[in-house]
Structure 1
């Protein structure tokens, strides 16, 4: 358990590892089976309602608004308490005990505090807790995907996950590309020179940028100008540290299925150690028949692509219009047999897992929630779904539970 101290943010590898090291990643023979640590470093009020209220931010929409409203010093103090308690060492041990092998950690660019401009509002002081968290993961035998989840200017409209809800995404400028690239090369350096990060094997350059069908110019510009810059800056940092090619980070982009375009279009011809992220929420797929059998059929027939594709976000949630009807409701107040409902959701979980493991694997969104819509909404929350007997306590059991023939 945490003893009340946090490691120095300047800690480096000892003599056994030298000044820098190649990080380790999951063996190629294993599938990614993981969970996101959502709302640890970017709080999304929709999934952490009680926590957000306890911080004095209950009627505010995002971290930016909370810091601006509370004032920097007060906000830093309440966020410090949150970072220290939201995901604990016991949580990390529990994740490992459930047969999972990866955690994805969403972070904002403001973790590197000198990138924050005058007039921007973000909490300060999270880095020591990130150092501690990845160290816990390494000690527990878990691998880490470090995910740049919140970009300078906001990369997607009207989303709390960016840390600053904006109606028009402001990320797509040379100045903000430079800030994001600066974050990525700094993070690459930290990963290779701080022993706590020894199992942080993947660095994701951007979570959920705009779709090309909504913002064609922005998406095209990002793929042409930011994506190759991110790659070359990370690799240049690794070369400067003497990291051998076989010990490099895997660099992850949102894949083709996300809809921003081909992420490899302008990458160097010799680009190596690439992974791709795919977010698969049947909840928002209008082609899925809104019945028990329709959802199962969609999952069983899904093909997400090759082993370099990881389904980095997914859930058990159902279309908003249907989620509380007799087929899908998850509480007895709706007049349903909760036991039968849980059995179906376990089948839905297993069908998705089986499909995603045909590719590189999966990372559930998310590990922990805090009263979504006034209820224990385990369709989004791995920890709660296990506690309610929906997701089994051994992730490898999916094939034996799957309804897919």
Structure 2
């Protein structure tokens, strides 16, 4: 997971990442220091809290419909349609009920140690322009969730999933869908970079000064930007280095000890996971920098459409050292998923092996974070960890992948 230029510094950073059992917290009132605690973690085993703060209709269908958003496919357009006051009301009900304390408790009980929390820049409401449409009032609910993580000893990653102007085309996860070639994403401007940088600074300060955030140890600067092209180059040159510098400058201003600083996460380089180029290219340093690989075998068209081929590929995967797989699922190619061989009903035994093969392979690196924890209005559990556990596909102990894996028979 850790990205550094020399092997020794990689090992040092890795030790800082996963073996710390205490860190310092600077209270908001500037009083004496208190301890902040992080769980000792050898391998990341986690889930994304998808659709908590950026709702994606495709796996939250019932909630989306009940909010009055049916027919819209991003938060922007539903907020605009409902009107700001009404939207704020219905979103607060969603934030209050989608992820509860019982969810975090269950996440811990079934052997998971990490959550990744996707958020939009609009959580810092002062950054939102008057002509933009996003729900207001989400911050107290983020504070509450990370407080539950602290209570149950769950490591947390806060991920800037929806950037100003949206960073990727045709995606619900940005909060506002822009369509490539018609009205492409608007993130790649100096003004929107600056808004994202201000969000990252603000979140850094909150993590270090609010006692609920004591198991938050990583801040991801941007989820899934465009793949390649002039915008990706501009981002690597003009956004990534500033994000790194501004996060560390905010920590320096607070006099955060080196050992207590946040790990700063970037998407994994082109050729291995994400086609936006190497994020290290213009960084002033790689200390405390991490990689996030998204590995969806369902989107790998090189895999022959057989069960054996999927297991074989899963067993071969190796994301390399110092990497977490921040998103993955149990899905297969859309042309196959409803065929008799791959449909989820009646194929639980095979999907259990498929889960174990992927999880074991990702643990050759620094671990994995499944997309996503829960779904509603969707019977297909291949994207829904909680439902897959209930179906008996994913075991109730996330640490059993190696024991259940079929890879010894395929490699």
Same fold, judged at TM 0.5 (above) = yes
Residue 4 of structure 1 corresponds to which residue in structure 2?
none
Residue 342 of structure 1 corresponds to which residue in structure 2?
348
Contact 2:38 2:153 in 1 (8 A): no
1:100-120 superposed Cα distances (whole Å, 9 cap, x missing partner): 000000000000000000110
Q: In 2, distance between residues paired with 1:56 and 1:12?
A: 42
Alpha-carbon spacing, 1:14–1:191, altered in 2? closer, same or farther (3 Å):
closer
Residue 327 of structure 2 corresponds to which residue in structure 1?
313
Residue 47 of structure 2 corresponds to which residue in structure 1?
35
Q: In 1, distance between residues paired with 2:69 and 2:323?
A: 37
Q: In the alignment, which of 258, 270, 276 is matched to residue 245 of structure 1?
A: 258
Let me know the Cα RMSD of the aligned residues.
Answer: 1.6
| SS of aligned partner of 1:252 | strand
Alpha-carbon spacing, 1:319–1:296, altered in 2? closer, same or farther (3 Å):
same
Q: In 2, distance between residues paired with 1:118 and 1:38?
A: 27
Residue 197 of structure 2 corresponds to which residue in structure 1?
181
Residue 3 of structure 1 corresponds to which residue in structure 2?
none
Q: In 2, distance between residues paired with 1:203 and 1:273?
A: 11
1:212-266 superposed Cα distances (whole Å, 9 cap, x missing partner): 1xxx100000000000000000000000001011100000000112110010111
| SS of aligned partner of 2:81 | helix
1:101 aligns with 2:113: yes
Alpha-carbon spacing, 1:14–1:65, altered in 2? closer, same or farther (3 Å):
closer
Q: Where does 1:39-58 land on structure 2 (aligned, <5 Å)?
A: 39-58=51-70
Shift of 1:371: 2.0
Q: In the alignment, which of 210, 233, 247 is matched to residue 226 of structure 2?
A: 210
Shift of 1:20: 6.7
Q: In the alignment, which of 95, 116, 136 is matched to residue 148 of structure 2?
A: 136
Alpha-carbon spacing, 1:400–1:165, altered in 2? closer, same or farther (3 Å):
same
Q: In the alignment, which of 266, 285, 293 is matched to residue 300 of structure 2?
A: 285
Contact 1:22 1:192 in 2 (8 A): no
Alpha-carbon spacing, 1:19–1:184, altered in 2? closer, same or farther (3 Å):
farther
Q: In 1, distance between residues paired with 2:262 and 2:38?
A: 9
Residue 278 of structure 2 corresponds to which residue in structure 1?
262
Residue 10 of structure 2 corresponds to which residue in structure 1?
none
Q: In 1, distance between residues paired with 2:101 and 2:26?
A: 21
Q: Where does 1:87-236 land on structure 2 (aligned, <5 Å)?
A: 87-167=99-179, 168-212=184-228, 216-236=229-249
Q: In 2, distance between residues paired with 1:240 and 1:58?
A: 46
Contact 1:346 1:391 in 2 (8 A): yes
> TM-score, normalised to structure 2's length?
0.89
1:369 aligns with 2:389: no
Alpha-carbon spacing, 1:87–1:12, altered in 2? closer, same or farther (3 Å):
farther
Shift of 1:51: 0.4
Contact 1:13 1:195 in 2 (8 A): yes
Shift of 1:12: 7.7
Shift of 1:272: 1.1
Contact 2:26 2:34 in 1 (8 A): no
Alpha-carbon spacing, 1:342–1:115, altered in 2? closer, same or farther (3 Å):
same
Contact 1:22 1:248 in 2 (8 A): no
Shift of 1:289: 1.2
Q: In 1, distance between residues paired with 2:33 and 2:222?
A: 25
> TM-score, normalised to structure 1's length?
0.91
Residue 70 of structure 1 corresponds to which residue in structure 2?
82
1:386 aligns with 2:400: no
Q: In the alignment, which of 283, 288, 299 is matched to residue 273 of structure 1?
A: 288
Count of matched residue positions in the alignment of Structure 1 and Structure 2: 377
1:5-34 superposed Cα distances (whole Å, 9 cap, x missing partner): xxxxxx98489x95677865554x600000
Q: Which runs of 5+ in 1 are unaligned?
A: 1-10, 332-337
Alpha-carbon spacing, 1:12–1:53, altered in 2? closer, same or farther (3 Å):
farther
| SS of aligned partner of 2:383 | coil
Shift of 1:326: 1.3
Alpha-carbon spacing, 1:281–1:18, altered in 2? closer, same or farther (3 Å):
farther
1:354 aligns with 2:369: no
Alpha-carbon spacing, 1:71–1:229, altered in 2? closer, same or farther (3 Å):
same
